[in-house]
């Protein structure tokens, strides 16, 4: 098992995961992670925060092979699963099965509940609304103080408003769920703090679903309420699903908008090219995919438990061991993306793993892509003089979160 060498001399000699990023290049993955691409190993053992020793998969090709293999499980209660935090480990045994921690037919059942709500066609129909909200938020920012925090003015409100509309959550409650999203993604919250946050958010979601069972709308929580009425879903199942969608539906996109803007402002040649081509949808689409690849917000994922022995990269990973498929490492694999440290908005990068890979790919990725497309084709057109109001060295990056980003981005114009 992955714990079999924990606490031994061999374990203490293993490289740690995760490792810090360079303060000189906070947009790039940690140097120690990238250095693994210079070895002949696609898979190595690492030592994590609790002393366990799962396998780290760094190559793009190996991840594609592994993440579709049914011998890997997303069940965080399975033996060997490499937990991200103390809180996750403490609550693993009693976790409610849902879309993010089930496998096979059970996972397919969960995913089918959401298929119609997040189709590419349905998300494309939201583009005019996303454009209008983006313009309104920029108008409000321009009418307010200069400098401004882009995170507060645009990055958080846009995806929050959109996921609220899709789910049927009142946007006026955004302070509540944004605060709890921070707790959900925090790496260093205590199990008690995490448990209390889970209880509060799921109680909130359950209350909304109950109300919609009496007065349904055209939204995801109403759909879940209808399934409860039909007897195919319980409230104990519906509330955690709503919780996952609410947190994932706004936090990742918000981090991408903030981090992507900061990265572009640090790369004037690429920003100039984007400005020249911001009315070309194909160019902006490629630019969004490259930004997703380069930044990879879920920087500590993806994690699995091994159900049966599997051979990969010249190593045999045994049943009961853990696997961490480092998404940033795959997205900076020079075999898949030549010169990965060079930001190139014309690169063909759509085969990146920023949304994961395999059956557990992000269900809301089409919404995220459209939000990013609208923002990055609008922001620099509306505010051509946009610039950072502080030096990059003064920005606080989210290394203490499971979702990488920047806490505040002061910009001026």
pLDDT tens digits, one per residue of 6-31? 556 567 789 999 999 999 999 999 99
| Stretch 201-230: mean pLDDT | 96
Question: Among the listed ranges 171-180, 203-212, 289-298, which one has the minimum average pLDDT value?
Answer: 171-180
Query: Can you give the pLDDT at residue 187?
Result: 83
DSSP string for residues in 221-250: HHHHHHHHHHTSS-HHHHHHHHHHHHHHHH
The answer to whether 405 touches 398, Cβ cutoff 8 Å, is: yes
Query: Can you give the pLDDT at residue 5?
Result: 63
Band (232; pLDDT cuts 50, 70, 90)? very high
Question: Which helix H or strand E contains 325, and what residues bound it?
Answer: strand 322-325
- Can you read off the two tokens belonging to residue 60? 């793009």
Query: Can you give the pLDDT at residue 95?
Result: 85
Chain centroid to CA 159: 13
Question: Among the listed ranges 116-120, 260-264, 355-359, which one has the minimum average pLDDT value?
Answer: 116-120
- What's the CATH number where 295 sits? 1.10.630.10
Mean pLDDT of the chain: 94
Query: Can you give the pLDDT at residue 1?
Result: 42
- Can you read off the two tokens belonging to residue 232? 């195919």
Query: Can you give the pLDDT at residue 2?
Result: 44
Total of domains in the chain: 1
Q: Is residue 1, in this structure, part of any structural domain at all?
A: no
| Stretch 188-199: mean pLDDT | 87
* Alpha carbons 193 and 71: distance in angstroms, whole number: 33
Question: Which is higher by pLDDT, 247 or 55?
Answer: 55
Q: Is residue 2, in this structure, part of any structural domain at all?
A: no
Residue count of the chain: 413
- Can you read off the two tokens belonging to residue 136? 């309104």
Q: Is residue 238, in this structure, part of any structural domain at all?
A: yes
| Stretch 353-357: mean pLDDT | 98
What count of other Cβ atoms lies within 10 Å of the Cβ of residue 192? 10
By residue range, what is the domain housing residue 342?
9-412
| Stretch 333-356: mean pLDDT | 98
Query: Can you give the pLDDT at residue 250?
Result: 87
pLDDT tens string 92-108: 888 889 999 999 999 99
The label of the residue with tokens 């990725």 reads 365
pLDDT tens string 31-87: 999 999 999 899 999 999 999 999 999 999 999 999 999 999 999 999 999 999 998
* Alpha carbons 412 and 323: distance in angstroms, whole number: 43
Q: Is residue 81, in this structure, part of any structural domain at all?
A: yes
Taking each helix axis as running N to C, give the angle between helix 191-214 and helix 174-185, from 0 to 180 degrees, rounded to the nearest 10: 140
Q: Is residue 4, in this structure, part of any structural domain at all?
A: no
Q: Is residue 325, in this structure, part of any structural domain at all?
A: yes
Q: Is residue 3, in this structure, part of any structural domain at all?
A: no
| Stretch 309-321: mean pLDDT | 95
Cβ-based neighbours of 394, under 8 Å, separated by 6 or more:
none
- Can you read off the two tokens belonging to residue 111? 């995913």
Query: Can you give the pLDDT at residue 8?
Result: 61
Q: Is residue 281, in this structure, part of any structural domain at all?
A: yes
* Alpha carbons 152 and 241: distance in angstroms, whole number: 26
* Alpha carbons 214 and 226: distance in angstroms, whole number: 10
User: In the predicted model, is pLDDT for residue 269 greater than 90?
Assistant: yes
Q: In percent, how much of the chain has pLDDT > 70?
A: 98
Phi, psi of 146 (to 5 degrees): -130, 115
Question: Which helix H or strand E contains 306, and what residues bound it?
Answer: strand 303-306
* Alpha carbons 29 and 202: distance in angstroms, whole number: 33
| Stretch 220-232: mean pLDDT | 96
Question: Which helix H or strand E contains 148, and what residues bound it?
Answer: strand 148-149
DSSP string for residues in 384-409: TT-EESS-GGG--B-TTBSS--BS--
Question: Which helix H or strand E contains 341, and what residues bound it?
Answer: none
User: In the predicted model, is pLDDT for residue 3 greater than 50?
Assistant: no
Query: Can you give the pLDDT at residue 263?
Result: 99
Which among 118, 205, 122 has a CA at the least distance from the CA of 168?
205
The answer to whether 378 touches 136, Cβ cutoff 8 Å, is: no
């Amino acid at each position: 098992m992955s714990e079999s060498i924990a606490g031994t001399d061999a374990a203490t000699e293993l490289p740690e995961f995760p490792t810090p990023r360079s303060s000189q290049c906070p947009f790039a993955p940690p140097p120690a992670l990238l250095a693994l691409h210079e070895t002949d190993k696609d898979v190595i053992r690492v030592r994590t925060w609790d002393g366990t020793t799962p396998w780290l998969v760094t190559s793009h090709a190996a991840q594609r092979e592994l993440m579709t293999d049914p011998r890997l499980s997303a069940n965080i209660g399975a033996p060997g699963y490499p937990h991200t935090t103390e809180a996750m480990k403490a609550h693993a045994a009693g976790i409610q099965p849902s879309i993010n921690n089930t496998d096979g037919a059970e996972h397919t059942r969960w995913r089918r509940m959401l298929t119609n709500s997040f189709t590419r066609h349905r998300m494309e129909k939201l583009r005019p609304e996303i454009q209008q909200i983006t313009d309104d938020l920029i108008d409000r920012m321009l009418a307010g103080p200069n400098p401004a925090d882009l995170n507060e003015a645009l990055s958080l409100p846009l995806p929050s408003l959109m996921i609220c509309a899709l789910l049927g959550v009142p946007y006026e409650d955004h302070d509540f769920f944004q605060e709890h999203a921070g707790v959900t993604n925090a790496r260093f919250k205590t199990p008690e703090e995490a448990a209390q946050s889970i209880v509060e958010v799921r109680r909130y979601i359950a209350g909304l679903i109950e109300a919609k069972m009496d007065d349904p709308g055209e939204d995801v929580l109403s759909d879940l309420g209808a399934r409860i009425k039909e007897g195919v879903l319980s409230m104990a199942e519906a509330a955690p699903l709503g919780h996952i969608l609410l947190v994932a539906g706004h936090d990742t996109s918000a981090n991408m908008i903030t981090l992507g803007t900061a990265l572009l402002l640090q790369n004037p040649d690429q920003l100039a090219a984007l400005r020249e081509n911001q009315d070309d949808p194909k160019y902006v689409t490629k630019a969004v995919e490259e930004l997703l690849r380069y930044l990879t917000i879920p920087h500590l994922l993806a994690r699995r438990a091994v159900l049966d022995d599997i051979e990969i990269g010249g190593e045999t990973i045994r049943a009961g061991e853990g696997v961490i498929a480092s998404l940033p490492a795959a997205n900076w694999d020079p075999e898949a993306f030549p010169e990965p440290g060079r930001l190139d908005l014309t690169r063909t990068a759509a085969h990146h793993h920023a949304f994961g890979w395999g059956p557990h790919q992000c269900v809301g990725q089409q919404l995220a892509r459209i939000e990013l497309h609208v923002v990055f084709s609008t922001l620099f057109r509306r505010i051509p003089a946009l610039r950072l109001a502080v030096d990059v060295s003064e920005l606080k990056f989210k290394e203490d979160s499971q979702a990488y980003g920047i806490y505040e981005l002061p910009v001026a114009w």
